[in-house]
Structure 1
């Protein structure tokens, strides 16, 4: 194998010869970004033997572990366009940093063997923990590799995590309904229990308290986990001719769209007779009839941030832990009516 001189590499990369020498000899004194710049160039030259053993062992692979608590008969919250947009951000960042991505699904009832096999090939990994609770993390803790927990937060552990500010989003959505004149605001609840939904319920209750509105448990309608199951559940409620609120906040867009379908079948007009607002801003929310007002989650940005933070932990050997909350914004469409 050809050996390349430090001064020639330095000239091409427009850095000092000393910096190249420090990188090749695995010495401190340069930034990790500069070090990786040298290593990446050596790989392009096919001169991997010049990269220190520690760095040469880097696999250039990252893993995404998608954890599913619920079996195939339920519709996982993270599927559909939410996951697709999240993956767009993850893949974009992987391309930016030159990593391959290995994706593994883990269902609670199965072992962690498949995920562990992928993780062992990688420098670090992300757990998409939307459906995960504290006890579900045990299988991932002893891996010894840098990782990021995405879309859930666990106070008990010192892990890096990137989460949605669910309380803020639900508070904003409920406040919007109040400002449109609604005083009896119901809650469309999933039959699945996940941290995101618990936090959204907290935001809903917080908004009611802010405006001195009484929480009425009879205005909480437990639906399904997807559009079809939520439609069927609301259809069943409608046969009982309930005293409906003038507006509903739904834990996600799928619940909202399923409920709207049932309302229409029962002869109710949205938003003339009943208003509905969702959460997530899925692609279907924009093309539904009427267009669904909702809370937008910057899903691509979540994916980008997760990879950026993970790569930072790998390359810069960062040991501190951070919790990053992603803010949301309200998207007003046509499913909410302003009352007189």
Structure 2
């Protein structure tokens, strides 16, 4: 389409005008707008350029429905993770207080399922998407730009994120066990495959605190597998704890890992906290049970939920909501103690 033919018409541009300007079919324009089918980058850029040049406003009716929707879409990677389940419950409670409901979907880390579940939420005209797990980049790229996205408990550069300061959290944990007298401190994680950015931030907090305290980061005291398969994870932990000079304290990247370490320690006769101090991260409900009594870095789940829901339903015509970084809090229970003079205590 020439510039003359565009300026001649007083009518708003249509999807057909965009298709003609970009030199593609109407269905290709629809695919770019809806993200249902992957479009190659060069074609996608031509379509987006045509939309910008023509001032085309896609799917105004659906956008209006979305702006009046009182349903929030929530994407969770693994609902069997107690932290995600508890955080989702807080989100639902906060949404209900503001007369909204929640539509929750899970992905189990499958990119194809991520794309399918996100399409389902968008097709249900949810008011916004609250993402408790970060989808694959290509899945995110195919999401409609006019759907508000709020990342909850994960920091995503360039996006609206409501999350705790992960780095500060593990710094708190290291300082706590160091103040108890520990100098041989380890770090254990199994998040590199599913949540690499969060794992990296927590490890960087651990390493930074160790360096500031002039404590050696011993590679033998780090366990950060990319693929922690359930069939081999327990054996891996037992081997780690049974090394000749094991750490006297361990910072776990989240509570479930700390509880796994407790079980592995118990299996080899290592007592907590007499022979091994443990600090988790998240403060899931299970961590507070008397039998576990795990010292941990607490994420303020109720506050995360409140701020995330507020960001999701704030004026859709206004400025994009700001990201928020919340301060973590150290909860001291009974899994940490001064190091035993004989380093480890066997039952």
Higher mean displacement: 287-296 or 253-262: 287-296
Q: What does residue 119 of structure 1 align with? A: 122
Indicate which of 284, 304, 307 corresponds to 1:305: 307
Partner of 2:133: 130
Q: Where do 1:180-259 residues align within 5 Å?
A: 180-190=180-190, 192-193=192-193, 194=195, 195-222=197-224, 230-238=233-241, 241-259=243-261
Match of 2:10 in 1: none
Matched, 1:64 2:74: yes
Over 3 Å counting, the alpha-carbon distance change for 1:172 and 1:56 in structure 2 is closer
Pairwise CA distance, 1:79? 3.4
**Which residue of 251, 269, 272 corresponds with 1:270?**
272
Equivalent pairs counted in the alignment come to 273
Partner of 1:282: 284
Q: Distance in 1 between matches of 2:219 and 2:106?
A: 36
Partner of 1:8: none
Residue aligning to 1:33:
none
Q: Say if 1:65 and 1:115, in contact at 8 Å, map to a contact too.
A: yes
Are the counterparts in 1 of residues 299 and 328 from structure 2 also a CA contact under 8 Å? yes
3-state SS, counterpart of residue 187 of structure 1 = strand
- TM-score, normalised by the number of residues in structure 1: 0.72
Question: CA offsets, 1:167-223, max 9 Å, x none?
Answer: 111100011011000011011121533121111001101110111112111110246
Measure, in 1, the Cα distance between the counterparts of 2:184 and 2:308.
Answer: 39
Deviation at 1:267, TM superposition (A): 1.7
- Secondary structure of 2:223's counterpart equals strand
| 3-state SS in 2 of match to 1:213 | coil
What is the RMSD computed on CA atoms of the aligned residues? 2.7
Q: Does 1:337 align with 2:340?
A: no
SS at match of 1:232: helix
Is the contact made by 1:92 and 1:304 (CA closer than 8 Å) also made in structure 2?
no
Within a 5 Å distance, the mapping from 1:40-189 to structure 2 comes to: 58-66=68-76, 68=77, 76=78, 79-106=80-107, 107-110=110-113, 112-132=115-135, 134-140=137-143, 142-155=144-157, 157=158, 159-189=159-189
Residue 174 to residue 57, structure 1, CA distance change in 2 (3 Å): closer
Structure 1, 120-129 or 209-218: larger mean CA deviation: 120-129
Note the residue ranges of structure 2 that are not aligned, 5 or more in a row.
1-62, 342-347
Q: Which residue of structure 2 aligns with residue 48 of structure 1? A: none
Contact 1:279 1:294 in 2 (8 A): yes
CA distance in 2, matches of 1:132, 1:281: 24
d(CA) in 1 for partners of 2:228, 2:247: 21
Distance 2:151 2:104 in 1: 15
Structure 2 CA distance for partners of 1:104 and 1:243, relative to 1, 3 Å: same
8 A contact 1:173–1:295 mirrored in 2: yes
